[in-house]
Amino acid sequence: MITAPRALTGPEAHLSPDRTFARACTEQTATGAPESICDTGTAMPKPGELTFVAPRGAKKPPRHLADLTPAERKEAVVGAGEKAFRAKQLSQHYFARYAHDPEQWTDIPAGSRGRLQEALLPELMTVVRHLSTDEGTTRKTLWKLFDGTLVESVLMRYPDRVTMCISSQAGCGMNCPFCATGQAGLDRNLSTAEIVHQIVDGMRALRDGEVPGGPARLSNIVFMGMGEPLANYKRVVGAIRRLTDPEPDGLGLSQRGITVSTVGLVPAINRFSDEGFKCRLAISLHAPDDELRDTLVPVNTRWKVREVLDAGFEYAAKSGRRLSIEYALIRDINDQAWRGDRLGRLLKGRPVHVNLIPLNPTPGSKWTASRPEDEKAFVEAIAAHGVPVTIRDTRGQEIDGACGQLAATER
């Protein structure tokens, strides 16, 4: 097990939680890790280069209701010259009615609406386009943020459930070579409100019948879109709290319906575990051996497979939630049956479930999906150890469904 990062004192103490985490990342570098860490995030990263902190100097999104606690909302409303109870009214409109258009706030005087919108519900993001497939039950949205940055979300409606895949960063600093987002580098972190608004709009779309079939309310939210969620720890945790706060302070969802994915940032996993969350944790493993994972998931040069799994097992023990292992099957790279056997041995007897993901290739990439016979042999090798394993249903391939593809084509 890796040791916890030391507490920062003196001149380091002013660092934000995310920069404190980044300092811990650089201090706990494993043997063979790159000596430098990309700190700009604006240029195409070099192979193996990691960006733990978003570039400095980026404009901050405007303050939004979803960034604030109920008490902070009251302060903001009073600061705008309105009565404190207007904060509860705004929360009701946004979190319960999904209404951020002032024309819909009929219980608020017309003369107050403009001030309240400016203070607490500014426009954060606009839809560039929607793309649908699977007879309309899968809809991908490309968003333009206030500064022109692009991010994506995907709404997937099944007969018995609705899952929404959301982004936590614009771009990603983890530099996985088979991932379109990772190859583009990190632009910036999303704010708590920018994360939450993806879900609020998804819930509005379901209510209004824009995505046909199935339930009318979200069942599952997965932080598996653009970005490494635990590298944007503070805002992602803030978003989880807004999603699970009871209406109208939040959306009233259950932590048990939320999955947070990570490539394996061990200090952040440990922190998430210590803070008592009950979300499901998903580790994007993609290889059971350090030699290959160092290449496929460069953060493995910081924390090795066993360190990452140990942190995941600890989270499972504390949260009471089964750990998910995400594994993208890549032809002739990581899909050998012996690797399936090795993965099964690592996970045998543990509270885990393996999700195998047929790779959705990105344009011009050398990576492609496994052959059916290799996929079958890999599944059998894992299952032979009594480890639950399934092949994930892949949706949206004809609409650039893989993370980051649509934003890349728009650029």
100 a known binding residue?
no
Q: Is 261 annotated as a binding residue?
A: yes
| Helices 337-347 + 372-383 axis angle, to 10 | 30
Tell me whether residue 38 is annotated as binding. Answer: no
220 annotated binding-site participant: no
Q: Are 318 and 273 in contact (CB under 8 A)?
A: yes
Q: Which residues contact 196 (CB under 8 A, 6 or more apart)?
A: 66, 239, 242, 243, 251
Annotated catalytic residue 152: yes
Structure tokens at 232: 């944007």
Residue type, 333: I
Q: Is beta strand 162-165 parallel, antiparallel or unpaired with respect to 220-223?
A: parallel
| Residue of 321, 220, 219 lying closest to 269 (CA atoms) | 321
Q: Which amino acid is at 24?
A: A
Q: How far is CA 41 from the centre of its chain?
A: 18
Q: 189 among the known binding-site residues?
A: no
DSSP 76-130: HHHHTTS-TTHHHHHHIIIIIS----GGG-TTS-HHHHHHHHHHH----EEEEEE
Within 10 A of 292 (CB to CB), how many other CB atoms are there?
18
Burial of 219 by CB count in 10 Å (0-12 exposed, 13-18 middle, 19+ buried)? middle
Q: Is 326 helix (H, G, I), strand (E, B) or coil?
A: strand
CB-CB contact of 367 with 361 (8 Å)? yes
Q: Which of 152, 307, 326, 375 is catalytic?
A: 152
285 assigned to a ligand binding site: yes
| Residue 279 annotated in active site | no
Residue 36, marked binder: no
Residue 32, marked binder: no
Phi, psi of 369 (to 5 degrees): -75, 155
Strand-strand pairing, 169-171 and 186-189: antiparallel
DSSP state of 261: E
- The reply to whether 232 sits in an annotated binding site is no
91 labeled part of a ligand binding site: no
Q: Among residues 25, 165, 279, 403, which one is catalytic?
A: 403
Residues labelled as active-site residues: 152, 403
Write out the binding residues for S-adenosyl-L-methionine.
227-228, 261, 284-286, 360
Write out the binding residues.
172, 176, 179, 227-228, 261, 284-286, 360
Write out the binding residues for [4Fe-4S] cluster.
172, 176, 179
